[in-house]
Chain A
Amino acid sequence: MSRLTEAAVGVGLAALGLALTLAAADSLAEPAPVAPPAAPAAPPPDAPARVASYRLEASLDVPAHRVTGKGTLTWTNASSEPTRELWFHLYLNAFKNDKTVFLRSPFGAGRSGDHGSDYGYIDVSRLTVRELGTDDLWPRAARHSPGDPDDQTDIVLPLPAEVAPGATLHIDFEWQSRLPSIVERTGYSGSFHLVGHWFPKIARREPDGRWAHFTFHPQAEFYADFGSYDVSLDVPAEMVVGATGTQVRDERQGARRRLEFHADPVHDFVWTASPEFRERGEQIDGVRVRFLYPPGHETNTETAVDAIRFALPRFNRLYGAYPHPTLTVVHPPEHARNAGGMEYPALITTGGPWWAAKSGVRMIEGVTVHELGHQWFQGILASNEQAWPFLDEGFNTFAEMRALDARYGPGSMIALPGLTLSGAAARRAVAISAGHDHPVAQPADRFSSFDSIGALVYARTAITLETVGNVWGHDGLERAFSRYARRERFRHPGPKGFLEDVRVELGNDAHGSLHTALFDKGWVDYELADLDCVEIGPARGVFGDGAARTTSTGDGEKQRSCRALVRRKGTLRFPVDVELIFADGTRQRRRWQADEDWATFDATGKSEVVAATVDPDRLVLLDENLGNNSRRQRSEFGHRALERLTYAAGLALALAGP
């Protein structure tokens, strides 16, 4: 059990106490417990259980940035335990005032980096449970998140009766949401709206009966049950709308427009509306992909289309088929840039200035492929992103990095004349610079800052997986991912299954190294500690006896005897090559399993070893220091670097000088 789930259980018990107190006060006319149906229809093993399905009807008031709606949640107690409470996430309340958990955190700790200029909130006005009578139950709900009177994002609703395992509730509710100015990938900017966290959303109940509920923390993302969503939206007629799922109806009613969307199976629903959107559609690998973008972003969109054309079939092949008929790709306008770079089921947002695609920096390609990858790790696998952020962001960064490398080669991050930068090189620098003092596999709110999440969860996970693939084979690693992604589809996996898949496909060593790297702050530094040669000739002295006695003065052909000392520091172990380079230009590679902390590599011959390198192909990207991996007998002066820098300084002097 993780430390987070322990905490969640503690909070859950405290809330249960509160719920029982409230229930006791209101127990005059307690309804009968809700029992499961006589023969619950079990879903087929590879299909998701529709635990939380929504029918929503909402209307957008553009000038007020307000969404008013009503809906029905059909929720099944899919756990093995009865419950007397429901937990709701009212995440729009994270932006209600400066005292919420989200907004009181030192800004910069959050993902979006900017404090919105306008506040947002969600009010539930009525909630009834058909199986429990007609009373409005919402007045019984807690006023704030557990233990935090200033936060209203994580709300418990005590029920007047117990809900048995397998029983289903039909929960009718009405609510109103006021959108904030864009913050953390939701809100409005001008007439652009990205409407996320906009309806009261039930938390997920784990199979053992624990509620996985949590406040909206600036460093954490989300977790929810699958269900089907039927959503009807009423917007001004000029609005172009994109949403999770497939549009099944579009009806003009005077100055308004009513659109209906169906999505199944998904665990969230988001939509966007703007009168400015241009639209482009394309069928890619069996999926109708719809691109919405502001005017002037045609080249960016072309680049995003190209990236999806490559990445969607690749991810389908590696991680199992994308399960929805449509995918919507939204490029927010520059003034709403904090809405960019976000994943929701069947809808992703990209982003970047209008000139991004021509800049030589692969911003558009990177963000598009990254957010697309989330359709599997966040959308389909749907791990608990709060408890195990690396299972989503880390695995997905690796998937993105490999895809971009496969498509764009060494310039997968930057491709300028004379300078290319790969995603792996950039991620390695970020990951290694941040050090290895904290585990990668820990809950999001345990990290010291979002920068730390960036370095450990995103970059270090990706570099760790890249190293494992480099050393033990990317084919095997792909097979492990394929097993994992297909088996755990719609099943909210934790980390164990994937590690087991790595053991099966790549062996115990790979499994052990991966586990240590992710869970136990594993690190490694290979060092070519010493390279030394001595001259040896024929032995001198008196040899043999009697008539066979000879005296040697040691004349004759001399040889060079060389020794390279290689060391491994740290807790990780990857087998590596050691390369010896001789004066005559020949090279020798020897394998070192690196079971020991150090080893020596000897070579005797006419030609001496002039240089030696451990891990010459740079397979171990987790190596803390690549600067100590080589030794040469004579260090070389950097003529090329001097030439390039002299030229650059000359240009600077010509530009800024008199």
Chain B
Amino acid sequence: MSAVARTRRAWRAVLWVYGLRLLAAWIVASPLARALTSSVAAQHPRGDAILFDAGGLELVESLRLSLPVLASELKGALLIGTALGALSLIPAAVLLAALVEETPSGLPRWLGRAVELFPRFVLSFGARLFCQGAVLAAGAIALVRLHRRLASSWSDQSAAFTAAGLGLLVLAAAAALGILEDLVRVEAVRGATLKSALRRAARLLRARWATLTGSWLLMAGCSLLLPLGAASLVGLLDVSQPGASRLIGVTLVHQGVALGLVVARSLWLSLVVELGSAPRAERLPIDLQVAPAGAIPAEVEAHDAAPEPRE
């Protein structure tokens, strides 16, 4: 099955992830919006359209006046956002469960799998964030030092480009950790314990690094281009002008982007699933004994009917 077909088949899970993310975003944004509009916009004849006026006078004034409230709401929003972000491991697992299964089922079964997988997902997510944080922090320190050293003797631009080169390497390392975790998750959904999932993921990454990197970059590129394209479109719609249709138009564009991001990610995960269940010659050994009894979905067991001996 192609990645596209796999994603298309899991469309309900895709919508589910999108819907829950929209809900989480709305929960995070509501108190901030209330704080921002309470000062100038609430009583202004044009309402919060003035916040989008060219020149930003009313926006800056709103930020200035609501800063104390906004700052405390922002702390709350960060806290809630972090909690909701962690909880969104469940929809992430739902999506993977839907993508991995060979026989179509439905939300109750995906949800069941997601709850089952939650502890493993938390662990792998935590480990990935920790490692990424360490890589980024070390990279940032190295970057600042390198730039400082180069800046006094090299031209500004060469120093910046060299530093940017190192920065790209750091980002690539951080991205590789993200890719690895996606691979681990797929294996975990297939029933592997974290340890063996990690081993298999690393093996798959080694074996198919070019395909994986290429398709990940494609996904990341699309995810970057979508909001940028939307920004210019939204600029044309200009919600500072009166008319509900403008707001509706902007909402559609933005939510199109949000849905597009989920679809792009689903496509990428589908590809990982496909690569993981590739024909025998390329396939990775599935380590049945490592997986807890009964944790392996039927389709995976069927696919891996002749497991290779455990290493």
Could you tell me which A residues sit within 8 Å of B by CB distance?
A: 189-190, 276, 294-297, 333-335, 353-355, 409-411, 414, 417-422, 424-426, 428-429, 432-433, 528, 579, 581, 610-613, 618, 625-628, 630-632, 635-654, 656-658
Select one of A297, A610, A643 contacting B251, CB under 8 A.
Answer: A643
B262 / chain A contacts, CB cutoff of 8 Å: 654
Query: Who on chain A is nearest to B178 by CB?
Result: A658
Are A625 and B25 neighbours in the complex by a CB distance under 8 Å?
no
Interface centre among A421, A647, A658 (most CB of B within 10 A): A658
Interface string of B79-96 (1 = CB under 8 A from A): 001001110110010000
Chain B positions 43-69 with a Cβ under 8 Å from a chain A Cβ: 43-45, 47-49, 51-52, 54-65
Select one of B61, B81, B261 contacting A649, CB under 8 A.
Answer: B81
Are A419 and B254 neighbours in the complex by a CB distance under 8 Å?
no
Are A638 and B41 neighbours in the complex by a CB distance under 8 Å?
yes
Contact (A646, B157) CB under 8 Å given A420-B54, A421-B60, A627-B40: no
Are A422 and B156 neighbours in the complex by a CB distance under 8 Å?
no
A643 / chain B contacts, CB cutoff of 8 Å: 247, 250-251, 254
Are A653 and B88 neighbours in the complex by a CB distance under 8 Å?
yes
Q: Is B268 an interface residue (CB 8 A)?
A: no
Are B155 and A654 neighbours in the complex by a CB distance under 8 Å?
no
Q: Is B24 an interface residue (CB 8 A)?
A: yes
A426 / chain B contacts, CB cutoff of 8 Å: 56, 60
CA distance A651 to B47 in the complex (A): 25
Could you tell me which B residues sit within 8 Å of A by CB distance?
A: 21-22, 24-26, 28-30, 32-34, 36-37, 39-45, 47-49, 51-52, 54-65, 77, 81, 84-86, 88-89, 92, 121, 125, 151-153, 155-160, 223, 227-228, 231-232, 234-235, 239, 247, 250-251, 254-255, 257-258, 261-262, 265
Extra 8 A-B pairs, beta carbons < 8 Å, given A422-B55, A647-B258, A653-B85: A295-B156, A417-B235, A420-B54, A429-B63, A632-B45, A645-B33, A651-B257, A658-B92
Contact (A646, B25) CB under 8 Å given A418-B234, A425-B56, A653-B85: yes
A625 / chain B contacts, CB cutoff of 8 Å: 65
Are B156 and A333 neighbours in the complex by a CB distance under 8 Å?
yes
B49 / chain A contacts, CB cutoff of 8 Å: 640
Are A296 and B37 neighbours in the complex by a CB distance under 8 Å?
no
Are A422 and B56 neighbours in the complex by a CB distance under 8 Å?
yes
CA distance A355 to B161 in the complex (A): 11
Are B57 and A638 neighbours in the complex by a CB distance under 8 Å?
no
Are B58 and A642 neighbours in the complex by a CB distance under 8 Å?
no
Select one of B54, B152, B156, B254 contacting A354, CB under 8 A.
Answer: B156
CB distance from B150 to the nearest CB of A (A): 9
CA distance A333 to B62 in the complex (A): 37
Are B45 and A630 neighbours in the complex by a CB distance under 8 Å?
yes
Are B37 and A641 neighbours in the complex by a CB distance under 8 Å?
yes
Are B21 and A654 neighbours in the complex by a CB distance under 8 Å?
yes
CA distance A612 to B47 in the complex (A): 12
Query: Who on chain B is nearest to A610 by CB?
Result: B45
CB distance from A402 to the nearest CB of B (A): 14
Are B152 and A190 neighbours in the complex by a CB distance under 8 Å?
yes
Query: Who on chain B is nearest to A618 by CB?
Result: B57
Select one of A296, A528, A653 contacting B24, CB under 8 A.
Answer: A653
Pairs A–B under 8 Å by Cβ, sample size 13: A333-B155, A410-B55, A424-B57, A611-B44, A626-B61, A630-B43, A632-B45, A636-B47, A640-B48, A650-B25, A654-B21, A654-B223, A657-B21
Are B231 and A638 neighbours in the complex by a CB distance under 8 Å?
no
CA distance A422 to B61 in the complex (A): 13
Select one of A335, A409, A636 contacting B54, CB under 8 A.
Answer: A409
CB distance from A358 to the nearest CB of B (A): 12
Are B85 and A657 neighbours in the complex by a CB distance under 8 Å?
yes
Contact (A653, B81) CB under 8 Å given A429-B61, A630-B45, A643-B254: yes
Are A632 and B239 neighbours in the complex by a CB distance under 8 Å?
no
Contact (A417, B232) CB under 8 Å given A642-B29, A645-B32, A653-B25: yes
B153 / chain A contacts, CB cutoff of 8 Å: 190
Query: Who on chain B is nearest to A414 by CB?
Result: B56
Are B231 and A418 neighbours in the complex by a CB distance under 8 Å?
yes
CB distance from B236 to the nearest CB of A (A): 10
The 10 closest A-B pairs by CB, nearest first: A296-B157, A638-B37, A410-B55, A638-B48, A410-B54, A645-B29, A636-B47, A650-B25, A422-B55, A649-B25
CA distance A627 to B239 in the complex (A): 20
Are B48 and A636 neighbours in the complex by a CB distance under 8 Å?
yes
CA distance A428 to B52 in the complex (A): 18
Are A420 and B158 neighbours in the complex by a CB distance under 8 Å?
no
CA distance A645 to B155 in the complex (A): 40
CA distance A643 to B58 in the complex (A): 18
CA distance A424 to B54 in the complex (A): 12
B265 / chain A contacts, CB cutoff of 8 Å: 654
CA distance A10 to B160 in the complex (A): 53
B157 / chain A contacts, CB cutoff of 8 Å: 295-297, 354
CB distance from B111 to the nearest CB of A (A): 16
Select one of A296, A409, A626, A642 contacting B30, CB under 8 A.
Answer: A642
CB distance from B131 to the nearest CB of A (A): 14
CA distance A643 to B155 in the complex (A): 44
CB distance from A274 to the nearest CB of B (A): 12
CA distance A433 to B67 in the complex (A): 11
Select one of B33, B56, B231, B235 contacting A421, CB under 8 A.
Answer: B56
Contact (A658, B42) CB under 8 Å given A294-B156, A425-B56, A643-B251: no
A652 / chain B contacts, CB cutoff of 8 Å: 81
Select one of B36, B39, B45, B152 contacting A335, CB under 8 A.
Answer: B152
A636 / chain B contacts, CB cutoff of 8 Å: 41-42, 47-48
B239 / chain A contacts, CB cutoff of 8 Å: 640
Are A354 and B160 neighbours in the complex by a CB distance under 8 Å?
yes
CB distance from B158 to the nearest CB of A (A): 7
Are A638 and B28 neighbours in the complex by a CB distance under 8 Å?
no
A333 / chain B contacts, CB cutoff of 8 Å: 151, 155-156
CA distance A636 to B153 in the complex (A): 58
Are B89 and A658 neighbours in the complex by a CB distance under 8 Å?
yes
Are A647 and B25 neighbours in the complex by a CB distance under 8 Å?
yes
Are A335 and B21 neighbours in the complex by a CB distance under 8 Å?
no
Are A646 and B51 neighbours in the complex by a CB distance under 8 Å?
no
B41 / chain A contacts, CB cutoff of 8 Å: 636, 638, 641
